[in-house]
Structure 1
Amino acid sequence: MTHIDPISEEDLHAYIDEQLDVVRRVEVEAFLAERPEAAARVMADLRARDELRLALAPMASLVRPSTGDAARRIDAALSRQAMVHRFRPAMAAVVLVAAGWLAHGVYSPGTLGANAVPGYVEAALSARQTSLLRAAMFSQPEAPDYDRAELLSATAIVTPELPADWTVTDVQVFPSQFGPSIEMTIDAVGYGTLSLFAARPGGFAVSPVSTLEMDDLSGAHWQLGEVAYALLGERRPEGLGQPAVTLAETLY
């Protein structure tokens, strides 16, 4: 059995400051997924950090690097304390609602507007098209065998546990604007051929499953921590909300 050192406050601060290695970041994210109050504090700190970065960005070309670094360290220390207290109640409510969604197995319908679709869904569509193209080529053999632990180690992406009657026909690590991403082609009983895409879009969020319909496709997407997921398949009257929830629940 693998021993995991307890997560400390120092680990949480290092996570916020992007000072942890990939393995420790995954351990911290697993810790936060089970503790909504701690996740709320971290999300508030991340928001404070990002707001400060936005505020400092226009001035970056006007100051020396050493001066800018010092200002960032001081401002981060001061604003972190103030911003955490300011946003903690609202963020706690958001995280608790998101955690409760999985406990009750509920998913929300997505919006068809293009602005409502996260960028990683577009990457998932591109990965699906590439996978279908590969599947039709005799010179490009499919790779159905995969190791979840190896994928996690290589990409820092946790893949969901699949239902026992689903069969993986191909797994590929894809380049994307978010870095190495994972594309899985699945023969899902009752749903046909599905594509499961997972990527790290660059921010921490706990977003419940949202569904969407695109031309001849049904889809669903969600995010847990720093990893986002998209499930795509041929358009179905009932959509893909329920199978997406089933996959998402295995990540907790």
Structure 2
Amino acid sequence: MKAIDPVIDVDLDAYVDGQLDVARRIQVETFLSENPIIAAKVMADLSMRGELRLALASESAFGRPETRDAARRLERGLAYGRFLHSVQRIAAVGILVAAGWIAHTSFGAFTATEVAASVPAPAYVEDAVRAYQTALLRQSVPSQTVAGYKPEDIRAATAIVMPQLPDDWAITDVQIFPSEFGPSVEMAIKTAQGKPLSLFAVRPGGFAVLPVHHVALHSAEAAYWQIGDVAYALVAGDRDINLDVAADNLARTLY
């Protein structure tokens, strides 16, 4: 017979003290049969309780009154100890609830910032960060520079419209990667200050209009947005760059 309600310390204490009804006692014994470590502790408590009761029940002339008095005090102490343990657990829960209420009323409801939001960023943002890190690795190896980037060629090949970049940004590499819903584009960029950026564009498989959001991921910062069936992510490893403003300016060029 399996217990419907979970067996807690209060049930175990009541079991030792013989204060459970038959049904609950069977449930506790079933629980103990499945938890030998807890059962050993309960059996030790039962043994001590039995010895104490035997000492108290003995009315032999050889029994010393002070021994019986000590046994009674010990028995009361055991019962009081279990009661105190239960009260302490209840009090601890009450303190936690009270502390949470005080914090709520004093500081307001806890909210997550956009960077540390509990809602995860879209999967393509992680792809964008990986592409950025790959681009950094490519830049560390001597290679040829990009010759004649043409956004119309990218659009014809991938059906992805690329944003218009600021005049003082320099394209250092352009790569096309496969993705679940078609090819994606990763563009390695350097700002006028020489800061490396990565502009990632992909078709995520759904239509949406999503404003610029910010997320920290894998030691990088990403600002991502979506217009129609194409999503974009601007990624940097330097927090000094205001990605949100830069991403918003790029998004405006697509309208």
Identity across the alignment (%): 47
Describe how 1:221-240 pairs up with structure 2 within 5 A: 221-237=224-240, 239-240=242-243
Alpha-carbon distance in 1 for matches of 2:179, 2:118: 20
Are residue 180 (structure 1) and residue 180 (structure 2) matched? Answer: no
Instruction: For residue 224 of structure 2, give the secondary structure of its aligned residue in structure 1.
Output: strand
Are residue 198 (structure 1) and residue 201 (structure 2) matched? Answer: yes
Counterpart residue type for residue 245 of structure 1: D
Partners of 2:212 and 2:247 within 8 A in 1: yes
Partners of 1:213 and 1:235 within 8 A in 2: no
Q: Which residue of 2 aligns with 1:125?
A: 129
Cα deviation, residue 176, structure 1? 2.2
Q: TM-score, normalised by structure 2?
A: 0.52
**Cα pair distance change 1:234/1:144, threshold 3 Å:** farther
Match of residue 162, structure 2, among 159, 165, 168: 159
Say which structure, 1 or 2, has more relative contact order (CA 8 Å, 6+ apart). Answer: 1
Cα deviation, residue 204, structure 1? 0.4
Q: Which residue of 2 aligns with 1:5?
A: none
Per-residue CA distance 1:158-208 (angstroms, 9 max, x = gap): 000001111111111112233211000111125711000000000100000
Instruction: For residue 138 of structure 2, give the secondary structure of its aligned residue in structure 1.
Output: helix
**Cα pair distance change 1:114/1:135, threshold 3 Å:** farther
Partners of 2:196 and 2:236 within 8 A in 1: yes
Alpha-carbon distance in 1 for matches of 2:178, 2:145: 17
Partners of 1:216 and 1:235 within 8 A in 2: no
**Cα pair distance change 1:124/1:197, threshold 3 Å:** same
Cα deviation, residue 144, structure 1? 5.0
Instruction: For residue 124 of structure 2, give the secondary structure of its aligned residue in structure 1.
Output: helix
Over the aligned positions, Cα root-mean-square deviation in angstroms equals 2.0
Alpha-carbon distance in 1 for matches of 2:245, 2:158: 27
Cα deviation, residue 113, structure 1? 4.2
Per-residue CA distance 1:38-65 (angstroms, 9 max, x = gap): xxxxxxxxxxxxxxxxxxxxxxxxxxxx
Partners of 2:189 and 2:199 within 8 A in 1: yes
Counterpart residue type for residue 118 of structure 1: P
Q: Which has more radius of gyration? A: 2
Counterpart residue type for residue 158 of structure 1: V
Per-residue CA distance 1:120-170 (angstroms, 9 max, x = gap): 1011112112222222223x4342531111100100000000011111111
Describe how 1:65-144 pairs up with structure 2 within 5 A: 110-113=114-117, 115-138=119-142, 140-143=143-146
Alpha-carbon distance in 1 for matches of 2:251, 2:169: 15
Partners of 1:219 and 1:239 within 8 A in 2: no
Counterpart residue type for residue 141 of structure 2: M
Instruction: For residue 148 of structure 2, give the secondary structure of its aligned residue in structure 1.
Output: coil
Counterpart residue type for residue 216 of structure 1: S
Partners of 1:195 and 1:233 within 8 A in 2: yes
**Cα pair distance change 1:117/1:145, threshold 3 Å:** same
**Cα pair distance change 1:216/1:141, threshold 3 Å:** same
Alpha-carbon distance in 1 for matches of 2:230, 2:169: 22
Describe how 1:11-26 pairs up with structure 2 within 5 A: none
Per-residue CA distance 1:51-93 (angstroms, 9 max, x = gap): xxxxxxxxxxxxxxxxxxxxxxxxxxxxxxxxxxxxxxxxxxx
